[in-house]
Amino acid sequence: MIENKDAFTDRIHSAAQFIKSRIGQVIPEICVVLGSGLAPLAEQCVIETVLPYSEIPGFPVSTVPGHEGRLIVGSLEGKKIFMMSGRFHFYEGYDSSVCTLYVRVMAVLGVKTLVLTNAAGGLGDGMNPAELMAIEDHISFLCDSPLRGANLDEFGPRFPDQSCVYDREYLELLLSVAADASIKLHKGVYAYTKGPQYETPAEIRALKMLGASAVGMSTVPEAIVAAHSGLRVVAVSCITNMAAGISKEPLSHAEVMVNAGKASSSSCELVRRFIAAL
Ligand code: HPA
């Protein structure tokens, strides 16, 4: 929760100032968060600058294996972009406001579009592991809001509308890019859970009744803060496993990583083509 508005605001601005001092004149307007399986996208990028999170003042440091923490600045498909290689999760012990601090830093820098990717459990009928889902909406009311505490008025209002967190035009663009590339892309609602434990079968049945098609432990706080700051948000889940109770097999991080790997080339291709189409 944001307790000290001035200190938190200074933290955001000092990170933004540092990043600005380390990159060229042209500031990217797109930021892509590389979720599980998306790391190879950084290799397709013409990299200009790499800033380890540990060097950026005010940035938390990611603690999850496989979520290497560095901010990459470069270009992809001729477009200048930021890539967040590694994100921050509530289950790591950070407050939601800290997990999403980078989003506000991006807003201060002038980023207009946030592309979020993640690994998720699938609840939807007809979904299979290693397939992708475009997020059209989310369920977040089971968890604390990243906007809890003092409102940072310079970013957005106290009571932000949530009717359209995920940009409709970009969602359509993503779906059409996927169709053109023959990449199977589901569309659905993502339910956010705090983790780190996976859900119980009863929780998954409840989430399914509420209209969720996928479940995961990231993305939603970031999307809420991005929408609060006026950024256009696009989000894609890689369905890395069927959610608890849907598959009879126990869930494991190993299965998540294997299926994220299987979907990696289509996830990267989808995001790359989307950026080209922007
Ligand atoms: N639940 C929550 N988070 C996840 C899952 C899941 O089934 N799969 C990958 N991330």
Residue 255: active-site member? no
Q: What is the pLDDT, as a whole number, of residue 61?
A: 77
Q: What is the pLDDT, as a whole number, of residue 62?
A: 65
Number of H helices, E strands in the chain: 8, 9
Q: What is the pLDDT, as a whole number, of residue 139?
A: 98
224 and 107 in contact (C-beta within 8 Å)? no
What CATH superfamily is the domain 5-277? Nucleoside phosphorylase domain (3.40.50.1580)
Tell me whether residue 158 is exposed, middle or buried, using C-beta atoms within 10 angstroms of its C-beta: 0 to 12, 13 to 18, 19 or more.
exposed
Rounded to an integer, the average pLDDT of 56-61 is 90
What pTM did the predictor assign?
Answer: 0.96
Return the minimum-mean-pLDDT range out of 60-74, 97-111, 154-168.
Answer: 60-74
* Closest protein CA for atom 3 of ligand 1: 216
pLDDT at 68 over 70: no
Identify the H or E element spanning 214.
strand 214-216
Q: What is the pLDDT, as a whole number, of residue 8?
A: 94
Q: Which residues pair with 138 in a beta bridge?
A: 190
Query: What is the CB < 6 Å shell around ligand 1?
Result: 119-121, 193, 198-199, 215-217, 240-241, 243, 251, 256
pLDDT at 22 over 80: yes
Sign, CA dihedral 80-161-58-194, equals: negative
**What are the residues whose beta carbons fall under 8 Å from the beta carbon of 193, sequence distance 6 or more?**
142, 143, 199, 203, 215, 216, 217
Percent over 90 (pLDDT), the chain: 90
Residue 267: active-site member? no
Rounded to an integer, the average pLDDT of 134-158 is 95
Residues 253, 255, 257, 269: which is the catalytic one?
Answer: 253
Q: What is the pLDDT, as a whole number, of residue 43?
A: 93
Percent over 70 (pLDDT), the chain: 97
Ligand 1 atom, smallest distance to 193 CA: 2
pLDDT band, residue 63 (cuts 50/70/90): low
Residues 91, 150, 176, 269: which is the catalytic one?
Answer: 91
Of the candidates 35, 237, 13, 23, the residue with the CA atom closest to the CA atom of residue 120: 237
* Closest protein CA for atom 2 of ligand 1: 216
pLDDT band, residue 66 (cuts 50/70/90): low
